[in-house]
Amino acid sequence: MQLKNLLAALEQPPTHIYGANTLPEQDTILGLAYDSRKAAPGYLFIAVPGVHTDGRRYVADAAQHGAVVALGAPLPSAIDLPIPYIEVEDVRTALADLACAFYGFPARELCTIGVTGTDGKTTTSNIISTLFDAAGRRTGMMTTANFKLNGQEWANATRQSTLEALEIQEFLRKMVEMQATHAVIESTSHGLELQRVRGCAFDVGVVTNITHEHLDFHKTLDAYRRAKARLFEMLDPEQDKGQGYRKVAILNKDDSSYEVLKPYCRVPILDYGIETDAAVRAVDLHLQASRTAFRLILPDAECQIETPLIGRFNVSNCLAAIATAYSQGIPLDVITQTLATIKGVPGRMEHIDEKQNFSVIVDYAHTADSLQKVLAILRPVTTGKLMVVFGSAGERDRQKRPVMGSVAAQMSDFFVITDEDPRDEDRESILREIAVGAEQAGKQEGSDFLCIADRREAIATAFSRAQPGDTVLLAGKGHEQSIIIGRDKLPWDDRQVAREELRSHVQ
């Protein structure tokens, strides 16, 4: 694509251009890159500001890799640049606009479904994708845990729940090329705030819940909620893709987010719930250790749902997915048959069995609310002690740490506080901040809980204390395949480590 055509797609025009007389406007831009190491001959380099560094520092490196022009925030002063430099006020908005244009606005050719919320986004996204596939709607999907396209599924090893705009638009273009009709995009508060999902032309917006999370980034709960609301602002009632896709906002009427998000919806709302008189509702819940059953009430039908997905929160996740499928005309019999055999998401309430005489569960629960919900499920099905190994990520919401300690103290019999992803924070300090909440709840370190920074040692210690009938929950990492200590992303998989330690334990 010619540079002038790319720049024409910017909602906000450039504020200044250094080296304008040497701009390669008539030349074809062969690719876009925001990582200078991925730049190549003929590329446009976007100098994105980051947490630890600034893309403007890498313009020369991008040029050495072949980039012919760069775009970024205003420069502090006139400096010698090896290639023309285009100044814009909002780099992330520009990155999304350029990505959409470069890949030919693929979202305009798909029914796009955005799923946001604090907990349950990945599970809900997977249920939605499975329901649509079962109905013959070919889906592509991007979530924290996994990607899916054309029936093929693979793990998300990027450690990004919502990819950058460039990767999202590239993946959407692949969906179009593979003749997919529907795209399911997990849309985090970061992804919404940082314009990563800009240009996705959402037809359906779905929310699971909104609780206390990511205040390190958003600063206040109101700002966090406001970021989530962006998804529903993006639902444009005037946009018509010509395929009969119904514009709809799927809101959780049981959650406090309902009243917060409602004013931002310009399209019809289809709500769901368990406790409230919602349009899509579950009643007569039967929660068992291996299966869940409930009566589903829709605006024009009722039926019995049975599913291997366990727990009350998964009933809510199912309702969100059912409401989405129902809104797009998927038959009720397809919904019931699919939910009856649906598989769980890797790293979500995943049982680890190495012939040990106690239960081991790996789950991604990394917020106080999600930890509470998982422990609430495991308590009634545990005949012995309920133990949990968990931590809290470094350089993330510090306010939730003592709350998580309090939840563990109140809902488990013994717990080990350990590393999650300490990053550049002091590991022991993170553990102490969590322990404060446990101590305030009346627990004593040494007898009721331990602080062990090394996660493998923490897991091994919990296993060494486990007796027949006990349950050990490994929380916070789930599907993830790395742990971040300092700036290093080290190989790590809770499931694999658990198997290794269990094999050693049972020998």
Q: How does pLDDT run across 200-226, given as a tens digit for each residue?
A: 999 999 999 998 655 555 458 888 889
Q: How many whole angstroms separate alpha carbon 467 and alpha carbon 469?
A: 6
Q: Is 121 annotated as belonging to a binding site?
A: yes
Q: Is 196 annotated as belonging to a binding site?
A: yes
Q: Is 117 annotated as belonging to a binding site?
A: yes
Across the range 402-410, mean pLDDT stands at 97
pLDDT of 379 above 60: yes
Across the range 439-462, mean pLDDT stands at 98
Q: Is 469 annotated as belonging to a binding site?
A: no
What pLDDT, on a 0 to 100 scale, did the predictor assign at position 231? 97
138 CB burial (10 A radius; 0-12, 13-18, 19+): middle
Q: Is 188 annotated as belonging to a binding site?
A: yes
pLDDT of 162 above 70: yes
Considering only 22-26, 120-124, 179-183, 190-194, which range has the smallest mean pLDDT?
A: 22-26
pLDDT of 407 above 80: yes
Q: Is 392 annotated as belonging to a binding site?
A: no
Select the more confidently predicted residue: 267 or 380. 267
pLDDT of 405 above 60: yes
* Domain boundary assignment for the chain: 3-90, 106-341, 350-506
Average pLDDT, the chain: 94
CA distances from 365 to 173, 232, 404, 408 (A): 32, 25, 10, 12
CATH of 3-90, one of 3.40.50.300, 3.40.1390.10, 3.40.50.720, 3.30.420.40: 3.40.1390.10
Q: How many whole angstroms separate alpha carbon 13 and alpha carbon 9?
A: 9
What pLDDT, on a 0 to 100 scale, did the predictor assign at position 152? 93
CA distances from 252 to 17, 123, 224 (A): 47, 15, 17
Architecture of the domain whose range is 350-506: Alpha-Beta Complex (3.90)
Task: Return the CA Rg of the chain.
Answer: 24
Which residue type is seen at 502? L
Tell me the CB-side half-sphere exposure of residue 465, using CA atoms within 13 A: 22
At 58, list the tokens: 């890498």
Instruction: Provide the 10 A C-beta neighbour count for residue 279.
Output: 18
Q: How confident is the model at residue 125 (pLDDT cuts 50, 70, 90)?
A: very high
Q: Is 118 annotated as belonging to a binding site?
A: yes
What pLDDT, on a 0 to 100 scale, did the predictor assign at position 213? 56
Q: Is 257 annotated as belonging to a binding site?
A: no
Q: Is 271 annotated as belonging to a binding site?
A: no
Architecture of the domain whose range is 106-341: 3-Layer(aba) Sandwich (3.40)
Q: Is 120 annotated as belonging to a binding site?
A: yes
What pLDDT, on a 0 to 100 scale, did the predictor assign at position 505? 74
At 331, list the tokens: 């038959």
Residue closest to 142 by CA, chosen among 178, 167, 108, 179: 167
What pLDDT, on a 0 to 100 scale, did the predictor assign at position 321? 98
Residue closest to 379 by CA, chosen among 448, 430, 311: 311
Q: How confident is the model at residue 364 (pLDDT cuts 50, 70, 90)?
A: very high
Percent of the chain with pLDDT over 90: 83
DSSP 141-160: EE-SSEEEETTEEEE--SS-
Instruction: Provide the 10 A C-beta neighbour count for residue 337.
Output: 12
DSSP character at residue 45: E
Q: Is 461 annotated as belonging to a binding site?
A: no
Q: Is 181 annotated as belonging to a binding site?
A: no
Q: Is 159 annotated as belonging to a binding site?
A: no
